[in-house]
Structure 1
Amino acid sequence: MLKGVLIDWGGVLTVGLSEAVAEWIVAERLDADHYRQVMRELIVHAYEGLENSENVIHALERGEISGLDFERHLAARLVTTDGVPPVAEGLLDRMFSRFHRVEPMYEMLRVARAAGLRTCLLSNSWANEYPREGWDDVFDEVVISGEIGMRKPEQRIFEHALGRIGLAGEQCVFVDDIEANIEAARRLGIVGVHHRDPEVTIGELETLLRVSLR
């Protein structure tokens, strides 16, 4: 019987990554095609690269480098429609300001917790400030990569989260929008839900958890 929910933040409890980033690209006046090429290389390497093959995303998500250092690194590789790099300082804050809350997902967590399920945020951070208002109502525990020096899809961060809520992998479901993270969770016996749409995810969780979440 499932007793716990581990859940990602960006792209799950917020609007999708593509939507948020697209809005930020317009506001930042970035060359969109060039941005996607740069980030595709970084993200694919970070989540699908060879084992023990590190890049700047790994270091950022574990908190091994500062947000400002990463902003300078990224800004130097990007270009605006004016042909110059974007302003580095505050680049991540400006990007994450576009990650708007998805209220039905938060309400789902409130209902799940009220039904006796343990809930835990499990998020890879980019040195960003999380909007934590109301989190005490929806999370029993919060695990953020940059605060503990571990990142998804490393096995140890899932083990850490399970320890924090006092449950075994087989007792939990994990919701994320990145397949590599879900595959890592499944290797520990955790049930994986690949998030794409709030209504679909909530319906899938209702089936798995055998409780109404609306």
Structure 2
Amino acid sequence: MSLDTSPAVRAVLFDLGGVILTIDFDRALAAWAPHSRLPAERLRAAFRWDEPFLQHETGGLSNEGYFAHVRQALELDCDAATVEAGFNAILVAEIEETTRLVEQVRRRVPCYAISNTNEAHMEQMRRAFPALLPRFDRVFASHEIGHRKPQPAAFQHVLREIGLSAPDVLLFDDLPVNVDGARAIGLQAVLVRSPDDVRNALALRGLLQT
């Protein structure tokens, strides 16, 4: 293993979807399809990260407002509860190999989570995966802090709250744009394609027990 020349890590910051949780947007489309007047391809095209989606994830649009938008945009003939159930179906399962790594590394340094998310998904995480969020010293959710990754303000908010400088913090994220955004303001950041990427980066920095 090559020697690591990165600054010492004083905290680790984990993305949730794609790093800690398996996410599958096709599950939402499958749940909504029987209620939509749109054919499958048009339904898929209609479900986008549009302005209401972004507002929902930064606290500017309530669950009720967003689900009303989804019902209209996807031409769904169903109630809000059915829309929400489909939306929450996106959250599939914990990535257990990575959550075990969180349990190991948190014995050495604080572990935090940062997620582009919304009130509905956070509530579903608490119901479906009750042991997940308590693993972290604190969870920074975009709809609560008012900023989404890769906006610098999202990372700067976390740094202010935990009282550390950017080079002291190691981020794991599954989207290149978020990794690039974090690195641009000085964080150490690793692109995650599998739990091995997390394990290798933690081991390289001496954060796992040997």
User: In the alignment, is residue 105 of structure 1 matched against residue 98 of structure 2?
Assistant: yes
TM-score by length of structure 2 reads 0.79
The count of residues paired between Structure 1 and Structure 2 equals 192
User: In the alignment, is residue 56 of structure 1 matched against residue 16 of structure 2?
Assistant: no
Q: Relative to 1, partners in 2 of residues 1:78 and 1:147: Cα closer, same or farther, differing over 3 Å?
A: same
Q: Distance in 2 between matches of 1:181 and 1:10?
A: 12
SS in 2 for 1:131: helix
Cα deviations across residues 46-80 of structure 1 (Å, max 9, x unaligned)?
6xxxxxxxx2222111111111211111222225x
Contact 1:4-1:171 at 8 Å conserved across structures: yes
Q: Which residue of 2 aligns with 1:35?
A: 43
Q: Distance in 1 between matches of 2:54 and 2:133?
A: 29
Judge which range, 93-102 or 58-67, deviates more.
93-102
Q: Which residue of 2 aligns with 1:87?
A: 78
Could you list the structure 1 runs, at least 4 aligned residues long, displaced by more than 6 angstroms after superposition.
none
Q: Which residue of 2 aligns with 1:175?
A: 172
Mapping 1:112-151, distance limit 5 Å: 112-114=105-107, 116-128=108-120, 129-132=123-126, 133-135=130-132, 137-151=134-148
Q: Distance in 2 between matches of 1:192 and 1:86?
A: 43
Q: Distance in 1 between matches of 2:200 and 2:80?
A: 41
Cα deviations across residues 184-212 of structure 1 (Å, max 9, x unaligned)?
111111122222222333223322x2232
Deviation of 1:175 after TM superposition, in Å, equals 1.4
Contact 1:6-1:121 at 8 Å conserved across structures: yes
Q: Relative to 1, partners in 2 of residues 1:59 and 1:213: Cα closer, same or farther, differing over 3 Å?
A: farther
SS in 2 for 1:2: coil
Q: Relative to 1, partners in 2 of residues 1:75 and 1:206: Cα closer, same or farther, differing over 3 Å?
A: farther
Contact 1:158-1:185 at 8 Å conserved across structures: yes
SS in 2 for 1:29: helix
Mapping 1:154-193, distance limit 5 Å: 154-193=151-190
Q: Relative to 1, partners in 2 of residues 1:161 and 1:65: Cα closer, same or farther, differing over 3 Å?
A: same
Cα deviations across residues 25-52 of structure 1 (Å, max 9, x unaligned)?
223336542233234xx43xx6xxxxxx
- State percent identity of aligned pairs: 24
Unaligned stretches of 5+ residues in structure 2: 1-7
Q: Distance in 1 between matches of 2:174 and 2:79?
A: 27
User: In the alignment, is residue 69 of structure 1 matched against residue 59 of structure 2?
Assistant: no
SS in 2 for 1:125: coil
Deviation of 1:88 after TM superposition, in Å, equals 5.1
Letter in 1 for 2:56: L
Contact 1:174-1:192 at 8 Å conserved across structures: yes
Q: Relative to 1, partners in 2 of residues 1:34 and 1:196: Cα closer, same or farther, differing over 3 Å?
A: farther
Q: Relative to 1, partners in 2 of residues 1:11 and 1:151: Cα closer, same or farther, differing over 3 Å?
A: same
